[in-house]
Structure 1
Amino acid sequence: MMHDPAPFATRPDRSRGRLYPESESAFRTCFQRDRDRIIHSSAFRRLKHKTQVFVEHEGDYFRTRLTHSIEVAQVARTIAGALGLNQELTEAIALAHDLGHTPFGHTGEDALNELMEPHGGFDHNAQTVRIVTTLERHYAEWDGLNLSWETLEGIAKHNGPIEGDVPYALADYNVIHDLELTTHAGPEAQVAALADDIAYSNHDIHDGLRASLFTMEELTELPILRDCFREVDMRYPGLAPDRRQHEALRRFFGSLVEDVINTSRNNLGQLNPKCVEDIRMAGKPMVQFSPSHWEKLKQIRAFLFQRMYRAPSVVEMRHKVTAVIHDLFPLYMARPELLPSAWQAGLADNRDDQAIARLVADYISGMTDRFALQQHDKLMVQGR
């Protein structure tokens, strides 16, 4: 059930605006426009062929970064609607949250961060900000998508305040457009962060089962899931295994969503915020799992870590794709002329090692799984 906007929801008519002022749309709010620009971006389309857990070519049924992002947005809209928040802003942040991911998921990010250590490191959240503010170059009057301040803040801070060393990809932009990095993000970004946790906790179980990394019987021994399977078995005795699995996992999915909604409502009730700034300044996130659900979910994640993320077949692929990144990066560093001509233009005025490294990191991080493998085959295996 949808609710009237809460007093602490982010209102489009009170947006802090865009870095480059634009006239408003006659029929879309600023946050709807942000969402639409994200969907139409090149980086969003490339998520179709980027790893979630399994490398893109390993199977047609496994999640990719694109299907993951869509699932996150669906969960986020549901929670935002139940809490009376702005659904369009929530959806925009959810759809954009993984734009900065490298090929090969967190394995690719780890490899690129190691290679970039002498040049400021690599962080996919900061890279997302870099993509939507600089690297998407389609508009006549600016680089990037010229998103609203609230959307950019949510992308940058959805996982919490950023203190200490700020990744260069975020620090560079923050100098010209202050995103107030040391406070918590608005409630819509907090919803997007929890929706991410819910979506991958659910779909990684689906994908792990499909990959035969564990069995339904093992899942029935885990907290939360145990009760979900028991409820299905009581209501539908003798149900076919695939339907039993689906019914249990959709109950698991629902229990996570309901727990976040109920816990967050309680948190907000205790804080009694009068505006969105009250949530930013609360000193802790308002959108949370209950402590009991969070402890149970951590046990499920520990199971997934051991049985899925560190499964021998997954680890073997991690080694292979890490080698791909470790081969491509120094090659492009030594021979930047191998980059497409449009990318080489970025080195016209500055060809020191740091400038080259950051350009190469931009280029490699934007690759899809298949393109990275193709380039590796072309440049390293076949020789050039």
Structure 2
Amino acid sequence: MKKGRNELLEDEEKILAPYAVGSRNSGGRAYPEPEHPYRLPFQRDKDRIIHSHAFKRLEYKTQVFVYSEGDHFRNRLTHTLEVAGISKTISKVLGLNEDLSESIALAHDLGHSPFGHAGQEALAELMKDKGGFEHNKQSLRVVQKLERRYPEFPGLNLCEETLLGIMKHGGGYETSDLLTIRRSIGPSLEAMVVDVSDEITYSAHDLEDGLESGLLSLDDVKGLLIWKRIHDSMPPMDTNSKSEIHSISRSIGRVLLNLMVSDLVDSIHESLTKHFVNSRDSLSNLYKEKTKLVQFSEGFQKEFSELKTYLFQNLYRHPEVSRMSERGKETIYLLFKHFESHPESIPESYRNREEEDGRMRIICDYIAGMTDRYAIEKCKREGIFWFPY
């Protein structure tokens, strides 16, 4: 049986919870388009994001370890796909719109610079008095303006709900008309789920990658409060074996993910029941009252916070990671200064926007869109002083 748009909308409405975002009630797109006969709005958003240039470039953008450190460490693309998968799982269980959650998750890091958070820090410093730089804001800029896939409009022309979801935390978007809407109705539950799924994902996979790389100590992890939960849920294995660290680290990452997702789902369900959330309006009212619905249980949150602190102090500040970060920053500083004095080295597609956006912004856009390896290769091609990774 072939299903058309109306049948698909009816099927969706049968499974969505009353507080979910339905496709039929979508706020639409900035540039009106005819609806597709069998693809619903957020499914189209998801497809547009996946086919974008910015999404493809995520494969060679740093998560924690630069691409040259090994093929099995997470990169910005694998991280994004993991966030999308977890967001979709949580949304399915809670009766939320899976396509919307997945779209937000797939787009949430499109604006991330090369070299991870070190790259963001470098661009933020360089743009400090020129409008600033923050990767969540840049993700919105990418999908609204920088992508040039369609001749009819700039950007990807995503649905309003997807754009609102990309506006993480809802702050710092003073130049966006969407800010008023988000402050008025608050984020959707789908968007809130993606925010926490992001934290869940990087905490689990950064711990796993840190153990596999040898930068983190399994003995130290065993001292964390959350270790008892992890150990009790792991399959039988010798966690004192140094030779099995790869298998152990992967088991830890897998078990930790399941523990976090399960606790979060139970906690959200309990909060929705406790606060009698039965519509999108009731969700908005709780947002205005600053009631937090998407969070771990109290006991688990304490353990999760300790884990994040541990990762910050022992992995993100590890001398080896700091070395990679500083080289990434230096690469970005050198590129930025070079393009300031040699604008002819900037692609014409960016230079065409100089009058509208200013030279500093187009340089920032260009560098933020680079992959790690392209930034390094660009330094070599332009004859900029550079040291190898």
- Say what the alpha-carbon RMSD is for the aligned residues: 2.1
CA contact (8 A) 1:18 1:146 kept: yes
In 2: Cα distance, 1:238 partner to 1:59 partner: 26
Match of 1:368, as an amino acid?
T
State the TM-score, normalizing by the size of structure 2: 0.89
Three-state SS of the structure 1 residue aligned to 2:182 is: coil
After superposition, where does 1:126-137 map in structure 2 within 5 Å? 126-137=137-148
Is 2:368 aligned against 1:372? no
Q: What secondary structure is seen at the aligned counterpart in 1 of 2:286?
A: coil
Cα distance, 1:46 vs structure 2: 0.3
Partner SS state of residue 180, structure 1: helix
Residue type of the partner of 1:139? Y
Matched, 1:296 2:303: yes
For residues 62-118 of structure 1, give each alpha carbon's deviation from its aligned partner in whole angstroms, at most 9, with x where no partner exists: 100000000001100111011110000000001110001000111000000000011
Q: CA deviation at 1:178?
A: 5.3
**CA–CA distance in structure 1, aligned partners of residues 175 and 237 of structure 2:** 59
- Does the 8 A contact of 2:205 with 2:253 survive in 1? no
Partner residue of 1:357? 360
CA distance in 1, matches of 2:90, 2:135: 25
Aligned to 2:211: 209
Provide Cα deviations, 1:169-220, integer angstroms capped at 9, x if missing partner. x443427x95434653000000111110111111001110111012323222
Query: How far apart, in 2, do the equivalents of 1:181 and 1:330 lie?
Result: 37
Aligned to 2:8: none
Q: Which amino acid aligns with 2:227?
A: L
Does 2:24 match 1:13? yes
Deviations 1:260-308 (A, max 9, x none): 1011011111222232232133133321111221111111111111211
Paired residue total: 367
Q: Secondary structure at the match of 1:222?
A: coil
Q: Decide whether the 8 Å contact of 2:334 with 2:384 is kept in 1.
A: no
**Distance in 2 of aligned mates of 1:237 and 1:319:** 38
Distance 2:69 2:237 in 1: 34
Structure 2 equivalent of residue 280 of structure 1: 284
Q: Distance in 2 between matches of 1:172 and 1:137?
A: 21
Q: 1:174 to 1:236 in 2, by over 3 A?
A: same
**For residue 334 of structure 1, what is the amino acid of its counterpart?**
S
Q: Is the 8 A contact 1:279 1:286 kept in 2?
A: no
User: Residues 49 and 55 of structure 2 are in contact (CA less than 8 Å); yes or no, is this contact kept in structure 1?
Assistant: yes
CA drift of 1:58 comes to 1.5
Q: Which amino acid aligns with 1:335?
A: H
- In the other structure, the counterpart of 2:9 is none
Following superposition, the deviation at residue 335 of structure 1 comes to 2.1
1:242-273 deviations in whole A, cap 9, x for unaligned?
A: 44443343222111001110110111112222
Distance 1:376 1:226 in 2: 48
Unaligned runs of 5+ in 1: none
Structure 1 counterpart of 2:192 = 190
The 3-state SS of whatever aligns with 1:381 is coil
Equivalent positions of 1:256-267 (< 5 A) are: 256-267=260-271
Equivalent pair of 1:50/1:65 in contact (CA under 8 Å) = yes
Distance 1:58 1:247, change over 3 A: closer
Q: Could you say which residue in structure 2 is the equivalent of 1:324?
A: 331
Q: Are the aligned partners of 1:72 and 1:192 in contact in 2 as well (CA < 8 Å)?
A: yes
Gaps of 5+ in 2: 1-11
The residue type equivalent to 1:208 in the other structure is: G
Give the corresponding residue for 1:113: 124
* Of 145, 161, 165, the match for 1:150: 161
Match of 1:78 among 59, 84, 89: 89
After TM superposition, the structure 1 = structure 2 runs for residues 197-276 of structure 1, keeping only pairs within 5 Å, are 197-232=199-234, 236=236, 238=238, 241=244, 242-276=246-280
Q: Secondary structure of the residue that 2:152 maps to in structure 1? A: coil
CA offset at residue 318 of structure 1? 1.3
> Using the alignment, how far apart are the partners of 1:230 and 1:33 within structure 2?
42
3-state SS, counterpart of residue 191 of structure 2: helix
- Structure 1 window deviating more from structure 2 (39-48 vs 209-218): it is 209-218
Distance in structure 2 (CA, Å) of the matches to 1:24 and 1:213: 51
Other-structure match for 1:161: 170
Q: 2:342: which partner in 1? A: 335
SS in 1 for 2:72: coil
2:368 partner letter: S
Aligned mates of 1:6, 1:372 — CA distance in 2: 45
| C-alpha deviation, 1:151, in angstroms | 0.4
Query: Aligned to 1:373, what secondary structure does the other structure show?
Result: helix
Decide which moves more: 286-295 or 26-35. Answer: 286-295
